[in-house]
Amino acid sequence: MNNAIKNILIPLDLTRKNEKFLNIAAAIANRHGAKVHVLNVVPYSLLGTGSASSGKFFFHGNAMIESAEKQLATCKMVMSQITNEDVIAQHAIGSVATEVLKYSKQKNIDLILMPVQYPKRRPGFISSNTYEIIANRAVPVITIPENYNKEKFEKILFPIRNVKAVEDKLQSVIPIAKKNKANVRLVAIDAFERNSNIRKLEDKVQLLGEKLSNSKIAAIKEDLRVSLEPHSDILALGDQNNSDLIAVNVSTEKSFTQLFKNNFTENIVYKSKRPVFFFRNEEDATSAQEYVAMPYPMMPV
Dump pLDDT digits (tens) for 160-191. 988 888 999 999 999 999 999 999 999 999 87
Flag whether pLDDT at 248 surpasses 50: yes
User: What pTM, to 2 d.p., does this model score?
Assistant: 0.85
Residue 183 identity (one-letter amino acid): N
Read off the pLDDT band of 281 (50, 70, 90): confident
Per-residue pLDDT at 288: 44
Q: What angle do CA 135, 137, 143 make, to 5 degrees?
A: 65
In DSSP terms, 187 is beta-bridged to 159
The amino acid at residue 17 is: K
Share of the chain above pLDDT 90, in %: 46
Tell me the pLDDT band of 236, cut-offs 50, 70 and 90.
very high
Residues contacting residue 156 through CB under 8 Å, at least 6 positions apart: 173, 176, 177, 180, 182, 183, 184, 185, 243, 244, 245, 246, 247
